Amino acid sequence: MKKRKNILFILTDQQRADFCGCYGARWLKTPNIDKLASEGVLYKNAVTPSAACVPARASLLTGRSAIENRVINNAQWLRPDHSAMGVFTWPQILAEEGYHTVSIGKMHFYPWDISEGFQHRIIAEDKRHTGIQDDYTLFLQKHGYKRLHGSACEGYYEHLGAVISYLPEEMQIDRFVCNQTLEYLDMLNDEEIPFAMMVGFPGPHCPYDPSQEMMDKMPDADIPQPAPRTKTSDTFRPRNISDNSLGWNGVDLTNFTAEKAHKVRLHYSALIQAIDEYLGEIISKLKEKNIYDDTVIIFSSDHGDYLGDFGMAGKGHFYEGAIKIPMIVRDPATAPAEVEHPVSLTDTFNTILHFAGLNPADTLDTTTLAPFGPTTRAAVFGCIDQGWMLLDNQYKYCAYYNGVQELFDVAADKLEQNNLLEDANYAELAKEMRSELDRRVFAAISAGNIDNMAKEKLMDRSRTFSNPFNHHGWTRVYPHKVEN
């Protein structure tokens, strides 16, 4: 039997697409990401359905939307008994099918040390989790360092988290993740068991804290300015300012000037360049082990970062800077290509099953990525605690918790300055997209509550005395399993 392909899924944290050379960035150097794109399939319009770390990661694990998973913000996670109700993560599925499943780096599970189907874990969690006793913390302690909040670095508050790290390059968290990946690959022998590995780099998420060595490789550059504030985006700024003032970040975004945004973007770029170097080392190791052409590589991110767009930082809404992500899939057996239609981060679920030789899951929110699957996605449905989105090839409709609604022609209005809901010429399009968005929301709510169903459908229609529901002692089945 022909050996199944290894699967290597590399996920960065909060990396927007337009900060990669292959997506048009010319001020920073990402030769390894660009080379991977030239050898694989580059998805020009890949988006996350949920612009927040935890909902996005839960969705890519299950192939289900945030509403279905009931993980709509960073304080929630998949129910502990999700397997009992028929919801499985792709690492669980692949482990059952004979893969050795491995995760290295940031996964953002709650609790942080659970497996979710990964048989081997080396953990380097969120840069903000300074009290966590994961493998990275123990590594620092072994070498005489402590895991500190970004505010330990000079100028942290003044520069909105854009600082030089107190740690040398060899102690940086992304370097640790790279080295642990290299060590795992080094341990591989010629055994027939394929691996499915997820490598989670905690960068370039804030704090934007490259080492001095990283920063020296990132000279000052002409970086595009942030998207200007708009009437509707200003309705979200108070919450964004408030959220970022909390202890996890602690910065004041009230006066997010162009100068501050430039420094943030420069330091962010330096972190991406470092990750690109680490990707190059991982690829070199695959080649050294003679398994590069036996391995499918997926490179992506959980979401983007405003970096000053609309006077905001981080993510949380469906603006392009927050949802557009890099997405590259290199399959040695597939010719290089570029895909223009929108794809979702959740599509990695069925795509991973495809490469493992398994049947796709029949869910609402994952489809095998073209050209590996037979279908082309018509639109992406997005959801999070702050709102809902429907995105097609040209238009994006968003409805938010505060009553704000937006319609953008994202093909023509890349900075999202013109809300077409204010133009009567787009009334019919707006009505159609809102109707489809509502349909997707209702379908997700229904699918996400199957476990709580009290009566079987056939039982509802039966009025016979033999119906168990009619008798004392009838026991409610809980949870009802999801039927995919």
User: pLDDT by residue (tens digit) across 190-241?
Assistant: 667 899 999 999 999 999 999 999 999 999 999 999 999 999 999 999 999 9
Residue 392 has pLDDT above 70, yes or no: yes
Where are the chain's structural domains?
6-384, 388-450
Q: Is 250 exposed, middle or buried (0-12, 13-18, 19+ CB in 10 A)?
A: middle
3-state DSSP of 338-374: EECCCEECCHHHHHHHHHCCCCCCCCCCCCCCCCCCC
Please tell me the predicted confidence (pLDDT) of residue 482. 73
**What's the N-to-C CA distance of the chain in angstroms?**
29
Report the run of H or E that residue 439 belongs to, with start and end: helix 427-447
User: pLDDT by residue (tens digit) across 132-155?
Assistant: 999 999 999 999 999 999 999 999
User: pLDDT by residue (tens digit) across 279-297?
Assistant: 999 999 999 999 999 999 9
Which position has the token pair 């060595």? Answer: 213
CATH number listed for the domain at residues 6-384: 3.40.720.10
Binned at pLDDT 50, 70 and 90, residue 481 comes out as confident
Q: 3-state class of 286 per DSSP?
A: helix
Binned at pLDDT 50, 70 and 90, residue 1 comes out as very low
Residue 275 has pLDDT above 50, yes or no: yes
Please tell me the predicted confidence (pLDDT) of residue 343. 96
The per-residue pLDDT of the chain, averaged, comes to 94
Question: In the predicted model, what is the mean pLDDT of residues 440-457?
Answer: 84
Please tell me the predicted confidence (pLDDT) of residue 463. 58
- From the list 193, 163, 197, the residue with the least C-alpha distance to 177 is 197
Binned at pLDDT 50, 70 and 90, residue 25 comes out as very high
The rounded distance, in Å, linking the Cα atoms of 282 and 289 is 11
Residue 328 has pLDDT above 90, yes or no: yes
Contact 112, 118 (CB under 8 A): no
Residue 278 has pLDDT above 80, yes or no: yes
Question: In the predicted model, what is the mean pLDDT of residues 317-340?
Answer: 97
The rounded distance, in Å, linking the Cα atoms of 123 and 102 is 11
DSSP 8-state code for residue 208: B
The rounded distance, in Å, linking the Cα atoms of 317 and 308 is 14
Cβ neighbours of residue 183 closer than 8 Å, sequence gap 6 or more = none
In sequence order, the β-bridge partners of residue 74 are none
Please tell me the predicted confidence (pLDDT) of residue 471. 79
CA distances 405 to 61, 167, 235, 395, Å, are: 29, 44, 11, 13
The rounded distance, in Å, linking the Cα atoms of 458 and 471 is 16
In sequence order, the β-bridge partners of residue 100 are 195
Q: Who has greater pLDDT, 40 or 191?
A: 40
C-beta atoms surrounding 61 within 10 Å: 26
Residue 435 has pLDDT above 80, yes or no: yes
Residue 465 has pLDDT above 80, yes or no: no
